[in-house]
């Protein structure tokens, strides 16, 4: 199949810094090419991805939206069989310029702007050729309520050959991995660890916009019981996942997914998550981790982590392997192109 992935003009490979959305695009494109598909990524004209063709417009301006719209049109001119967008909603503005199917992975929770764009497109366009791909059943059900067209959900996949269990035993320290931001509830993770008198390691990047929030936490980080380890590469993360007593995932926002939970389980480590949203789809409660409502429940669950089996965590993570995800997208492409 001839597949086009479309990303912003400003994004080029290799990426200068880690970005979950565009790392994901890179990985699925490479996997699809390895399976024999013809794959092109439209974004920066200066990209390079092994096994994948990369293209971009040569006449960019200072207008970001215009550059990205022209990137879509460059892809449409090549008449691929299917277009895979990685924008939140720009595809709705240009979809009537092609009769081919456009799918878009919902890397983030749909905003009001996206919902309005989907509804406006549904009213004006025939045929309906834009299909959302939510990464969880919970998000799919919300799409249906919001009027966003979809054929179902596809779980994100994780490279389980990369995220693997450690030969070393699990230690006593808890682990937090994620953005240092209010919505990720790092403050809750710290208070849980302090109340339970269990040490905690923190891995993540502090963006400038979250500096004020970070300053409120610094007095609690003593370098021993609560340690900040900064940002880490994926290779370094594997070691920290594998030797953690458990991973704390206290975010209570509408996460589109939660790769940290899958990566940790793939490394044989249980996860404690804030109850709600799609988080119940990512772990098996009581078997690979626990869903908690508040600080008290998190603290009470910590001693129970020691009864979680490494093998059960690894088996649970198998539901989210990359090969299954890529195959599911291939089946979706074929269904849409035939219809």
Is-contact 38 2, C-beta < 8 A?
yes
Residue 20 pLDDT class (50, 70, 90 cuts): confident
Is the pLDDT at 125 greater than 80? The verdict is no
Is-contact 1 81, C-beta < 8 A?
yes
Identify the burial level of 217 via C-beta atoms within 10 angstroms of its C-beta, where 0-12 means exposed, 13-18 middle and 19 or more buried: middle
List the alpha helices (DSSP H) in 291-321: 295-301, 310-317
Q: What percent of the chain has pLDDT over 90?
A: 86
Among 221, 227, 223, CA closest to 244: 227
pLDDT in tens, 273-289: 999 889 999 999 999 99
Among 227, 318, 314, CA closest to 269: 314
What does the alpha-carbon distance between residue 167 and residue 188 come to, in Å, rounded to a whole number? 30
Q: How far is CA 231 from CA 49, 179, 202, 245, in A?
A: 25, 9, 9, 20
Domains and CATH numbers, the chain: 2-156+321-338 (3.40.50.2000), 174-320 (3.40.50.2000)
pLDDT in tens, 129-187: 999 999 999 999 999 999 999 999 999 998 888 899 988 888 999 999 998 999 999 99
Global pTM value: 0.91
Residue 17 pLDDT class (50, 70, 90 cuts): confident
Residue 339 pLDDT class (50, 70, 90 cuts): confident
Is the pLDDT at 45 greater than 70? The verdict is yes
pLDDT mean over 208-229: 96
């Amino acid at each position: 199949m001839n597949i086009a992935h479309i990303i912003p003009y400003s994004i080029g490979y290799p990426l200068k810094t880690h970005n979950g959305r565009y790392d994901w695009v890179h990985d699925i494109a490479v996997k699809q090419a390895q399976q024999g598909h013809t794959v092109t990524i439209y974004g920066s004209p200066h990209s390079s991805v092994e096994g994948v063709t990369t293209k971009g417009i040569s006449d960019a301006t200072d207008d970001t939206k215009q550059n990205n719209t022209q990137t879509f049109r460059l892809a449409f001119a090549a008449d691929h069989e299917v277009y895979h967008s990685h924008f939140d909603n720009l595809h709705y503005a240009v979809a009537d310029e092609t009769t081919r199917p456009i799918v878009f992975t919902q890397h983030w929770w749909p905003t009001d702007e996206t919902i309005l764009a989907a509804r406006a497109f549904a009213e004006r366009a025939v045929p309906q050729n834009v299909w959302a791909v939510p990464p969880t059943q919970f998000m799919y059900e919300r799409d249906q309520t919001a009027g966003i067209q979809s054929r179902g959900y596809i779980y994100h996949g994780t490279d389980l050959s990369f995220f693997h269990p450690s030969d070393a035993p699990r230690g006593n320290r808890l682990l937090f991995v994620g953005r240092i931001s209010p919505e990720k509830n790092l403050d809750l993770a710290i208070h849980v660890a302090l109340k339970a008198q269990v040490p905690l390691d923190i891995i993540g990047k502090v963006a400038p916009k979250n500096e004020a929030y970070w300053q409120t936490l610094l007095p609690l980080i003593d370098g021993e019981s609560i340690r900040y380890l900064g940002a880490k590469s994926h290779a370094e993360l594997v070691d920290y996942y594998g030797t953690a007593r458990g991973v704390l995932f206290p975010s209570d926002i509408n996460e589109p997914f939660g790769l940290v939970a899958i990566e940790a389980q793939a490394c044989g480590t249980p996860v404690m998550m804030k109850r709600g949203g799609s988080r119940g789809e990512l772990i098996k409660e009581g078997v690979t981790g626990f869903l908690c409502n508040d600080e008290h429940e998190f603290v009470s669950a910590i001693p129970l982590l020691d009864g979680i089996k490494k093998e059960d965590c690894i088996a649970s993570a198998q539901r989210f392997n990359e090969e299954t995800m890529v195959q599911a997208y291939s089946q979706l492409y074929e269904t849409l192109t035939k219809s």
